[in-house]
Amino acid sequence: MAALDRLRGRDAIDIVHGVALPSVSAFDADVPVLVLATADSLAAAAATARVALATHAAVIALVPTGAELPSDLDEDAIAGRLDPAATDAAAVSVLRSAMQLATAHHAARRSAAEAARRTQELTELTRIGAALSTERDLLTLLTMILSQSRRLANADAGSLYLVEPDGTGATRLRFKLSQNATLPGTPFSEFTIPVDRASIAGTAAVTGAPLAIDDVYQMDPALGLTFNRSIDERIGYRTKSMLTLPMRTHEDETIGVLQLINRTRRPGIPLASATAVEAEVLPFDAHAITIVSALASQAAVAIENAKLYEDIERLFEGFVSASVTAIEQRDPTTSGHSFRVATFTTGLAEAIDRVSSGPYRDTRFSRDELRELRYASLLHDFGKVGVREQVLVKQKKLYPADLSIIRHRFQVLLQKTDLVFERERADYLLEFGRAGYEDAVVQLDRRRMTQREELHRFLDAIVRANEPTVLAEGTFEELEEINHRLFVDFDGVERPLLADDELRYLMINRGNLDERERREIESHVTHTYRFLEQIPWTRTLKGIPAIAHGHHEKLDGSGYPRRLTADAIPVQTRMMTISDIYDALTATDRPYKRAVTPDKALDILHDEAKHAHVDLALLTAFVEAKVFALVGDEQRRSSGAQRSVR
């Protein structure tokens, strides 16, 4: 058809003319399509295929004048009909009308596709924004920002810088992250550059405007910028197109710089050669700049929030550390205990995360839960602020002043034996003279020495009994013997060598506290809970008071302060209990107890588990994962000893 030959190639339109009806999948999506189809080809095609074709192209039915079209042909499926024998003028008229329709079809498809793409991009930006707003870990957030920016812009590689103070009142850019799809294993190191116009990233930070460069190897001299090719040469890469955008907060402050490299024609194609770079790399167009700028704005707010969250965490961490240090300074021998218990407990939680059998095989702890557990462990003894200092720092069974009184009493009695000896010797001389004097003095001296030896033995027994023990031990027969001995005080009143209160303290068979003092020490748990309950914890930390409250409870209900049984004790608290006991047992020697070896401490813990005091499954994980090795002897020596089991 001559008219067809005249029109073909004159307009940006694809004219398809053949025996069979073409498939829609064969069309170029970027070009309008005009299809000339015979009546036979239309009749042979399925109705669905004809409808699909009509939505993508203008279809002209080539049918002789007077001939009938297939009876099942939907008139909407064709744009018109043309007699193959029609004159050129008539054919051109019909074809031009059809071409206009094809162009309209194509424009409608492109508009619909563009609208769908915009909708998808907005949906993606909304989804990404929501994800960014919930992420609190800064490195994870930065990784997400760079990954999503690259994906939206089809960028093969990218980098991210953060603005930070340089210590002089000015700021600098820190290179924080790098990604490269072609070379995914490429290592990088952090470094800083000035915030000035000497670099591409610095220029974007200074101007606050996006900077798109089609080829960094051939930059416009007017920019006054150069690209350092040494990194490309070292890793075997070709950086070509680049988009650098400042990430600015709602207060118009630049918080970082996002740099995307090599926008690709087809995502996922490696740029492993110069040929691939030339074939696949495109400049960053206006649309890419717009969409990534939108993401950069969201990213800036998310980074600002994450950094603020980090600042708050550091502030709270400092408060917790200072609080724990202040409490432990009331008793310097407890220095480091809370920090070690936190190390052991979080280590045990991480070990539980790895177990695949037993009652805790499905127990897992999130990052927030581990942080909650760590703070609860650090603050578990904070309530000791409410315990009298003399009880808190008590080292022996007797208070130092009480032992001094006993020593003074015995010293007086020792001096009294000398005075009695001298008086009896003088009385003998007055009554009997020198007759038998030498033998009498020997007898008197022997009796004096016997009395002195007995007093020394009694005092030694008292000093030995004054030493506390980790485990229950001692029968105290010597103390009872001493208590039956009497002496006459300065007022002439006969009294036992040991007062009832003195005897009661010395007969404590475990530790160094009597029942009243023990209850006062035990009250620290309740004080801790009441203090922690007053703090307006965040949602992720609200369990801290309850976790810390029960660290002296026992599974069989014999613990304190509430005598809870197993089901009522959180697993986090059970872990802390094991850590607390282990650290107390293995603490460096101190005046009121000797440290036990790690093996001995574990034996004691297993005995506690046998009596349903601690959780055997957790203790097994503690041992198998060698959690106890997380704190070494050197760290113990540098941080001080720990308190006894109370």
Give the model confidence (pLDDT) of 597-612 as tens digits: 999 999 999 999 999 9
Bond from prior residue into 187 cis (ω within 30 degrees of 0): no
Apex 48 CA angle, 46 and 50, nearest 5 = 75
Alpha helices, DSSP H only, in 355-399? 367-378, 389-392
CA dist., res. 212 & res. 376, Å (int): 51
Amino acid at 474: G
Look up tokens 């000398």; give the residue. Answer: 418
Apex 374 CA angle, 369 and 378, nearest 5 = 150
Look up tokens 């002439």; give the residue. Answer: 492
Q: How confident is the model at residue 40 (pLDDT cuts 50, 70, 90)?
A: confident
501, 406 contact by CB (below 8 A): no
Nearest Cα to Cα of residue 260 among 186, 210, 223 = 210
Nearest Cα to Cα of residue 62 among 94, 43, 95, 37 = 37
Angle between helices 286-329 and 367-378 (to 10 degrees): 20
- Which overall architecture, per CATH, does domain 135-309 show? 2-Layer Sandwich (3.30)
CA dist., res. 631 & res. 646, Å (int): 21
The H or E element spanning position 260 is strand 254-264
**Which residues 6+ apart lie within 8 Å of 584 measured at CB?**
337, 642, 643, 644, 645, 646
Mean pLDDT on 517-534: 91
Side-chain-side CA neighbours of 84 within 13 Å: the count stands at 9
Mean pLDDT on 345-372: 94
CA dist., res. 176 & res. 160, Å (int): 6
Task: Flag whether pLDDT at 640 surpasses 50.
Answer: no
Residue range 237-250, pLDDT digits in tens: 999 999 999 999 87
Task: Flag whether pLDDT at 578 surpasses 70.
Answer: yes
Starting at the edge strand found earlier in the chain, the sheet holding 14-17 runs 14-17, 33-38, 58-62, 80-82
Alpha carbon of residue 92 to chain centroid: 73
For the CA atoms of the chain, what is the radius of gyration?
45
Fold of 330-384+520-639: Hypothetical protein af1432 (1.10.3210)
Q: How confident is the model at residue 635 (pLDDT cuts 50, 70, 90)?
A: low
Nearest Cα to Cα of residue 402 among 462, 357, 458 = 462
Mean pLDDT on 454-459: 93
* pTM for the predicted model, two decimal places: 0.63
Residue range 260-306, pLDDT digits in tens: 999 999 888 999 999 999 999 999 999 899 888 888 888 888 888 88
Task: Flag whether pLDDT at 637 surpasses 60.
Answer: no
Tell me what the pLDDT averaged over the chain comes to: 85
CA distances to 109, 124, 276 from 116, rounded to whole Å, are: 10, 12, 30
158: helix, coil or strand? strand
**Which residues 6+ apart lie within 8 Å of 604 measured at CB?**
471, 581, 585, 596
Q: Which two tokens stand for residue 140?
A: 């994870």
Mean pLDDT on 308-328: 85
CA dist., res. 348 & res. 560, Å (int): 23
